Amino acid sequence: YAQNPMAIPQPITDPKSGKTVYHIQGVVQSSNYTFRKKRIGYPYASWLISGLGQKNAIPLTLVIVNILAFIGLFFFVSQLGPTFNWSSVWALLLLTFVGSYLCVARDLADLMAVTLSIGALYFLLKNALLPSTLFGVAAILTKESVLFLVAIPYAWHLLISDKKTWRFLVQLALLSL
């Protein structure tokens, strides 16, 4: 999987439990692969940063991706503050969220997914629909549960927008894929 994050692991039957498990780089994964295979954003970002899958660099690049995501989240929240009449200093509260540190320490995709979702919201509020759509799609490919964080603002924007152009509808359709 470190060599190619798009690789599809082959199912095998565990002789002890009789359950179907998946073999990835010598490690047997027992989670439901059909659910997990949609979460390609985080390993793919790490794969890119590692120099297209350098095995020894993958563990470090997982941490680097999360640190970059934390910096990105800080940036987007500080930029969104004035939009809601908040001080940009409120973005410093992100430093108090222990969950962010757990994401970095445990190589979880949540931080990247939230950062991309907030980035999609930021660009949506700036009426930059293409970057918003790209960030939204990347967020959903990182963790599918952020779909609501991305889709609800898009739907709201579509309802209140007086510019219901075909381009926006195509981007919304792309987001739904």
Instruction: Pull the structure tokens for residue 130.
Output: 């293409």
Identity of the residue numbered 65: V
> Is the pTM of the predicted complex or chain greater than 0.75?
no
Half-sphere exposure of 17 (CA within 13 A, CB side): 7
CB atoms within 10 A of CB 145: 11
Q: What are the phi and psi torsion angles at 100 (to 5°)?
A: -65, -40
The mean-pLDDT minimum among 68-72, 78-82, 90-94, 139-143 falls in 90-94
Residues 111, 69: contact at Cβ < 8 Å? yes
Residue 8 one-letter amino acid:
I
pLDDT in tens, 29-67: 555 544 455 678 888 888 889 888 788 888 889 889 999
